[in-house]
Amino acid sequence: MTGKTTELKLDIERIGTVSAILTQPTHARACYVLAHGAGADMRHAFMEKVAAGLAERGIATFRFNFPYMEAKKGRPDLPAIAHASVRAAVAEAARLCPGLKLVAGGKSFGGRMTSQAQSKSPLPAVKGLAFLGFPLHAAKKPSSERAEHLAAIAIPMLFLQGTRDELADLAHLKPVIARLGKATLHEVAGGDHSFAVLKKSGRTNDEALSEVLDALAAWIDESLSA
């Protein structure tokens, strides 16, 4: 990658300070505020691969830890704290990447918290939300209750989902997306919640992730061109 990666500290009003990383390729055309999942922080291998892969595609990423992860606590933050963290990250990304198209979302829990924050009050300057495996329900307990807040979101959304994702039964997710209007679904054949595929699929996990990142980059260019 031609560009730079900067280690930062993110101040969350009335909550505290967490670590953050800005990966900014030269001539970036967008910045993705990338929130981590419930069980692993912003430095997890999946997050590193996403940031590096998007940089190769001309898209910057702003990663950050939620406060519970920064403090190495096992239980995720209350929604209000998670929402405040997302808002702080979006504001800082906008400040550090002036002029770039701003997208927010992330992996599983991080994407869901971002969507909840957006549904309560639009995130300033954010043009779209992209979910790397939206956690529609608990494993083996299909439902669509976790998606009810999405109806309050007016900006475009992209759902990148593996067809083997145990946290998002497509039979429940597809009707949700169909009702949203400005939402797009990209299915990753054979992918699980982290887009890992079985050996018998004939392709590698890296190839499946490359498909995800290609789809995300194309969506940013095509759907958020205004």
The Cβ of residue 121 has, within 10 Å, a number of other Cβ atoms equal to 10
According to the CATH classification, is domain 3-223 in 3.90.1150.10?
no
d(CA 38, CA 52) in angstroms, rounded, equals 21
Going through the chain in order, the beta strands assigned E by DSSP cover 3-12, 16-25, 30-35, 59-64, 101-107, 126-132, 157-162, 183-188
> Which residues of the chain have a pLDDT value below 70?
1, 226
The Cβ of residue 20 has, within 10 Å, a number of other Cβ atoms equal to 23
Could you tell me the residue ranges of all domains in the chain?
Answer: 3-223
pLDDT digits (tens, 9 = 90+) for 43-102: 999 999 999 999 999 999 999 999 999 999 989 999 999 999 999 999 999 999 999 999
- pLDDT computed for residue 225 by the predictor: 73
- pLDDT computed for residue 74 by the predictor: 87
The DSSP line for 131-179 is EES---SSTT----GGGGGGGG--S-EEEEEETT-TT--HHHHHHHHHH
The DSSP line for 56-71 is HTTEEEEEE--HHHHT
d(CA 72, CA 41) in angstroms, rounded, equals 9
- Cβ atoms of 150 and 164 within 8 Å: the answer is no
- Rg for the chain (alpha carbons), in Å? 16
User: Nearest 5°: CA angle at 195, between 189 and 196?
Assistant: 95
Cα 167 from chain centroid? Answer: 15
- pLDDT computed for residue 188 by the predictor: 98
